[in-house]
Amino acid sequence: MSRLQEAFAVAKAEGRALLIGYMPAGFPGIGDDVAIIEAMVAGGVDVVEVGLPYSDPLMDGPTIQEAVEIALAAGTHTDDVLRTVAGVARTGAPTLVMSYWNPLERYGVERFAADLAEAGGVGVITPDLTPEESGPWIAATDAAGVDRVFLVAPSSTDERIATVTAASSGFVYAASTMGVTGARTSVGTAARGLVERTRACTTLPVAVGVGVSTGAQAAEIAQYADGVIVGAAFVRPVLEAASTAEAAAAVTRLAGELARGVRGG
């Protein structure tokens, strides 16, 4: 059992869902990112997604795009992402990287998997990599001992879900709605059915993301999913904060609300 799967098992034993929080590396500045993420963990985030900034983030909505642009303008590179992972991993929270495929391919697939493991990272979410094209990635991650996380969506057929889950390890990311990331007033009604269809194909945990922003939404999802993923809702208060300290306080408060939600679900 991997460290990521162990985290899900601990949450299940406690009768709750896991809380997964996202923040781009290099945001709001190189060196400030670890302090922000540490505040998220202190507030109740169980697992961290560190975003690898990329110039063409097709899945990301305007909030995360703005944060990524700030990180890129600051000169954030893949080496900085790995340093962020190492800093966050020291908190004890299992730490993933969320990355589009192009930066990983340019860095070197085997090299990235090995360097991530050395930094203390436990896995990678690749939203635009398909299982059919993932042969070298599967080999590299298996060799390095890091988990692969692929995505399913409400539009995925049962056959497609079976293909995606067979290539996954760690957990399966279920996108609650079609479209880009971003906080929404409600979570897509198709999410519950998607989780059920995914569980029919795998014993891996299933975590739901895209659009989650409140403790009430987290509690709703926690009733049927193994994990709740929150991204843009954590990024927004950092964009709006006047200082790193103010941003850290804001994400701590939000993490606390969401953590109460997954425990209440």
Tell me the per-residue pLDDT of 176-228, one tens digit each, with 9 for 90 and over: 864 444 444 445 568 999 999 999 999 999 999 988 999 999 999 999 999 99
- Residues 242-246 have a mean pLDDT of 96
pLDDT at 179: 44
Number of domains in the chain: 1
Domain span at 129: 3-264
Among this protein's residues, is 49 annotated catalytic?
A: yes
Catalytic residue among 38, 46, 49, 226: 49
| 47-51: strand order across its sheet | 147-149, 123-125, 95-98, 47-51, 18-24, 227-230, 206-209, 172-175, 151-152
Strand partners of residue 209? 175
The rounded percent of the chain whose pLDDT value lies above 90 is 89
- Contacts for 45 with CB less than 8 Å, ≥ 6 apart: 19, 20, 21, 93, 255, 258, 259
Model confidence over 25-46: pLDDT tens digits?
999 999 899 999 999 999 999 9
Model confidence over 91-134: pLDDT tens digits?
999 999 999 999 999 999 999 999 999 999 999 999 999 999 99
Q: How far apart are CA 253 and CA 194, in angstroms?
A: 30
CATH code where residue 149 lies: 3.20.20.70
Among this protein's residues, is 246 annotated catalytic?
A: no
Catalytic residue among 33, 38, 60, 80: 60
Q: How far apart are CA 113 and CA 7, in angstroms?
A: 21
Structure tokens at 225: 């999913």
CB of 204 closer than 8 Å to CB of 168: yes
CB of 248 closer than 8 Å to CB of 37: no
Q: Whole-prediction pTM value?
A: 0.93
The type of residue at 123 is G
pLDDT at 77: 96
